[in-house]
Amino acid sequence: MIGRKERLGIRRAEIAAKVIDGEAIVINLATGLYYSLGKVGGRIWSLIERNLSSEDIAAAIASEYGVSKEMVGSDVVELVEQLAAEQLIEVASVHVAPQESRKMELNTGKAYAKPELRKFSDMAEIFAMDPPLPGLAKAAK
């Protein structure tokens, strides 16, 4: 279990990701699996890219969406655990400091929805690094 105060980081050597119109598309190049994170999940992904902790991410999301930190705290932890289980993120090295933060907007009027990680395997063989990994068929299930 990842602690709420531990800094998070993207597994950059194995992951390709892009946030487009607020939604994050993430590809695990080792397995070929790809993932979609909706608007709230995309915002969480962008905060993980800045090496923030789950606690800091929950505070930012709560502020941006005008909801309580308690409400989003468990959602953030659940998503972070899913991302870690899929080997998309890891606890950042202790020497990694959070990247400079831009000023957060308060209650932007955006509707909060529980972040969801959707997993796709239909293009795993195409996305997997060449040559395909021996466990690719198992990972896609």
What is the rounded distance in angstroms from the CA atom of residue 95 to the CA atom of residue 83? 22
Averaged confidence pLDDT in the chain: 82
The DSSP symbol for 52 reads: -
CB 45 within 8 A of CB 89: no
108 lies in some domain: no
3 lies in some domain: no
**How high is the pLDDT of residue 107?**
47
List the CATH number of the domain containing 64: 1.10.10
40 lies in some domain: yes
Q: Examine the pLDDT at 20 and tell me if it is beyond 90.
A: yes
| Residues in contact with 47: Cβ distance below 8 Å, sequence separation at least 6, in sequence order | 56, 57, 60, 61
User: Predicted confidence band at 11 (pLDDT cuts at 50, 70, 90)?
Assistant: very high
Supply the range of the domain harboring residue 38. 8-99+115-124
132 lies in some domain: no
What is the rounded distance in angstroms from the CA atom of residue 86 to the CA atom of residue 41? 15
Question: What are the pLDDT digits (tens) for 38-63?
Answer: 999 999 999 999 999 999 999 999 99
Between 93 and 87, residue with greater pLDDT: 87
User: Predicted confidence band at 106 (pLDDT cuts at 50, 70, 90)?
Assistant: very low
Number of structural domains (the chain) is 1
Q: Examine the pLDDT at 125 and tell me if it is beyond 80.
A: no
User: Predicted confidence band at 137 (pLDDT cuts at 50, 70, 90)?
Assistant: very low
139 lies in some domain: no
